[in-house]
Chains A and B, each alone.
Chain A
Amino acid sequence: MEGFLRLIRDKHPELAAMEVVFVSTPDYSGAFQDGWGKAVTRMVESLAKPSKVRTPWQVNILPGCHLTPGDLEEIREIVEAFGLYPIILPDLSGSLDGHIPESFLPTTLGGTKLEHIRKLGEAALTIVLGEQMRPAAAALEKIAGVPYKVFDKLTGLKACDDFIALLSELSENEVPARYRRQRSQLLDTMLDGHFHFGRKRVALAAEPDLLYALSTWFAEMGAEIQCAVTTTQSPLLERLPCDEVVLGDLEDFERAAAGADLLVTHSHGRQAAERLGVPFFRAGLPTFDRIGAAHRVSVGYHGTRDLIFEVGNVFMAAHRERTAEDFKPQEAGHAAAAPTVPRH
């Protein structure tokens, strides 16, 4: 392929100004997030330029595919609130956020401008959101010497604190009052919400970065990960809060999820949830049977707060009043209705 591209370049000098980025993503190799990471790495390698200039307020953001356009919008606002200027690559927030263009265009609107990508090398820092984006940041560091910092997630109090602390230190600006207040709200929500999460058994199936963000957040709220099923290898899998991770499919997931208090995966998990009679929370791609998935925000103090509400409400809705039957002895002479035996 590289050879063909060179050939085309040679034959058509008039297209010299047209950038072509080649990414090798055969279907049989890797998962969705691998392809995403490769595409961004190749964009960086092909388009970013070495630079002697440092723009101290420029921050590159490399978001993984597990973040929604809503998440990116939130992240942009947070970064800007510190007086920093973010270049987000890829930036779905202006393109897949469901707005109405003024006229018909066959191509996608918004996204990251080519001239911005070329200036990635001028940034003070690259913020990497998701392990899948590490190679892209490393590529940029190699090209232009821009240091990078990886955030494996921006969901949960500690992750948000680290992110805010970094922005504050980087910009030398105080944390805006808005985020101080949002943090306080998140604390209150964690206190109110933890009752519904404590020792709940959660079954998750998602790509590694999303799986990591959600399962560690569930664990932070006191839930237990009954099973975790994912699509591809990642250094994060070692750090998941459960004993075992299965590289598998929805069949493996359904088998391992029996008896859980909650199923978490994309829309195709709905049949499994129905068969198992377990409440279902949609997360990841694709979400085609609920509207607004692109606008769901689960990053930052507010995003985490709202996620606690959403999932907490699923738990609350599933709460069933006990009946006399529930307390009947299961075996002769034994009173029943034992709570889960704690596993420690």
Chain B
Amino acid sequence: MSALTKKVIELMNEPGCARNQAKPEKERKKGCGKQLMPGAVAGGCAFDGAKIALQPIVDVAHLVHGPIACEGNSWDSRHVFSSGPSTYRTGFTTDLGELDVIYGGEKRLFRAIREIIEKYDPPAVFVYQTCVPAMIGDDIDAVCKAAREKFGKPVIPVNAPGFAGAKNLGNKLGGEALLEHVIGTEEPETTTPYDINLIGEYNVVGELWQVKPLLDELGIRILATISGDARYKDIACSHRARAAMMLCSQALINVARKMEERYGIPYFEGSFYGIADMSQALRNIARLLVERGADAELLARTEALIAREEARAWARLEPYKGRLQGKRVLLFTGGVKSWSVVSALQEVGLTIIGTSMRKSTANDREKVKEIMGTDAHIFDELPPKEMYRMLKEARADVMLSGGRSQFVALKAKTPWVEVNQERHYAFAGYEGIANLVEEIDKALANPIWAQVREPAPWEKEVAGAVPDAVIPAKAGIQLQPAYLTPPGERRDPAGVTKRC
């Protein structure tokens, strides 16, 4: 049994995951990935998931070992931001060719690592396995080990070839690479009783920065974000945090759980989306820190900050309430943020007519059911054709989704707001919810919708545009369409050649 297979089997048994534990053993072995349906919108592969989880580490080089498309097709499409180095945005790949497939790509990989270290000197190189080299048997663990010894620098193998499973599994495999090779390998210069980790926060379009000022104000230090705007050293030292918050549903639950087991760092699952969730997250962080020895006065300060920020946030949402009341939203987020977004949108009077739970956990589903009062509108699958029909029948006023279903909405002439990882606006925290509501309002209010839904002139009666007297037919004259008349024979009232 290969190391990868062992790892995947291990991940299929996740004690931290209630849904996973609730399954019979046989079911559990099948994992939580679902067979892809031909014709349905497909999520990413395991490699994609691993890359998403780790690429936000901004100062390291992310080297993709594979043919060009694995890196090339997704290169620089995720808007995760850095406050410093931009090494993470350079697309490094071994660009395997046919000869490498025949003779093996290990030497090529080694040379690529050397080239990166010589040219860029990053604190670490992350090497991603992909389908083709995995199938021809390239041993990236061995190459990384050799490179580490040769160059004296961390070279981290990330063993998540696409075929290993779905994106969610890839997230976890990415997390495993950190647990195995990075976390706990360095020590922070100082520690405080107010140090936390944020696990599964990727700083998409700067969302981390919408939350960080609040934590700063409370004197809470983010020791490491795994992995948004992170430096390699942050993550290497992250085992010294006092508490952790797990975001993004359960993408990195294995990291949170194993860090609790290994280093005694308690964690809770929370979200920064929506006013209530944001407040709850702050409360939980403060509570865990106080339990771990921080001064209890932190709780009161946190409550005061929550009260102030909630008042501000509600005041900012106030102008939208009348306008958005009763507007119907179809939410198709692929799962990660469904329930927290649902409650946030209901806060301003929007009606959720449906939400997808394609990649969400049983927990998420329960939460949505609780918030919406019913699970009648929870879709497990919503094939594009069905989605198009729903929108075309005007069963929703606006759709919130990721880029993959953008054009389903647009072709159905329905307002659309981007809420997935490719989005351009930051929606986290007390500020973010106002941004999201502004985006929804902006989409709904755009005057193009009325225009593009108007039938073309030839699809409706257009009589009355000109006075009857000047219509040739009414004057008894039959015209010949110009496009049926050779240019040389076109009539010219003045009897001269038309063009000079």
Contacts and interface: CB of A to CB of B under 8 A. Distances in A.
**A complexed with B:** yes
Interface residues on B, range: 35 or more
B319 to A, nearest CB: 7
B472 A190 contact: no
Contact of A115 (B229, B434, B482, B494): B494
Interface in B476-500: 477, 479-485, 490-494, 496, 498-500
Contacts of B413: 187, 191
B268 interface: no
Contacts of B463: 169
B312 interface: yes
A336 B465 CA distance: 53
A197 B79 CA distance: 21
A190 B475 CA distance: 39
B214 A171 contact: no
A198 B417 CA distance: 12
Question: Max chain B CB contacts within 10 Å: which of A56, A173, A191, A342?
Answer: A191
B493 A122 contact: yes
A142 interface: no
A147 interface: yes
Interface in B190-219: 205-206, 209-210, 212-214, 217
A219 B435 contact: no
B308 interface: yes
Interface string A188-214: 101110100111000000000000000
Contacts of B205: 322
Contacts of B323: 344
A61 B76 CA distance: 50
B103 interface: no
A333 B217 CA distance: 7
A255 interface: no
A222 interface: yes
Contacts of A268: none
Interface in B248-304: none
A305 to B, nearest CB: 13
A176 B485 CA distance: 13
Interface stretch (B49-57, B145-153, B165-173, B441-449): B441-449
B471 A169 contact: yes
B282 to A, nearest CB: 13
A110 B452 contact: no
A9 interface: no
A83 B485 contact: yes
Contacts of B465: 149, 162, 165-166, 169-170
Contact of B481 (A82, A123, A157, A197): A82
A337 B310 CA distance: 16
B27 interface: no
A90 to B, nearest CB: 14
B384 to A, nearest CB: 16
Q: Count chain A CB atoms within 10 A of each CB in B413, B454, B458 and give the residue with the most.
A: B458
Contacts of A294: none
Contacts of A54: 470, 475
A82 B483 CA distance: 8
Nearest to B229: A324
A272 interface: no
Contact of B210 (A113, A125, A337): A337
Contacts of A158: 451, 454
B396 to A, nearest CB: 16
A175 B494 contact: no
Contact of A171 (B81, B457, B479): B479
A57 interface: yes
B496 A173 contact: no
A15 interface: no
B452 A187 contact: yes
B383 to A, nearest CB: 21
B205 to A, nearest CB: 7
A190 B481 contact: no
A80 B445 contact: no
A194 B448 contact: yes
A219 B429 CA distance: 32
B81 A334 contact: no
B471 A170 contact: yes
A182 B467 CA distance: 27
A329 interface: yes
Contacts of B47: none
Contacts of A192: 410
B456 interface: yes
Nearest to B308: A333
B472 A220 contact: no
A329 B216 CA distance: 11
B472 A124 contact: yes
Contacts of B442: 198-199, 222, 342
B386 interface: no
A109 B499 CA distance: 11
A171 B477 CA distance: 10
A194 B406 CA distance: 13
Contacts of A321: 79, 81, 206
A22 B400 CA distance: 63
B95 interface: no
Contacts of A175: 456-458
A176 B337 CA distance: 48
A147 B470 contact: yes
B457 A164 contact: yes
B213 A327 contact: yes
B495 to A, nearest CB: 8
Contact of A149 (B81, B410, B457, B466): B466
B479 A85 contact: no
Most chain B CB within a 10 A radius of its CB, from A94, A170, A329: A170
Contact of B490 (A80, A339, A344): A80
A124 B456 CA distance: 25
B430 interface: yes
Contacts of B484: 83
A243 B431 CA distance: 30
A194 B493 contact: no
A53 to B, nearest CB: 9
A55 B493 contact: yes
B209 A338 contact: no
Contacts of B217: 329, 333
Nearest to A109: B500
Nearest to A124: B470
Interface in A294-331: 319, 321-324, 326-329
6 contacts: A58-B493, A164-B457, A172-B471, A323-B83, A324-B212, A335-B430
Given A58-B493, A85-B491, A338-B316, 16 more contacts: A55-B493, A81-B481, A82-B482, A83-B482, A109-B500, A113-B496, A115-B494, A123-B493, A173-B479, A221-B447, A221-B448, A222-B447, A326-B209, A335-B214, A337-B210, A342-B441
The list of the 7 closest CB pairs from A to B, nearest first, reads: A56-B472, A165-B457, A327-B209, A222-B446, A165-B462, A124-B470, A166-B465
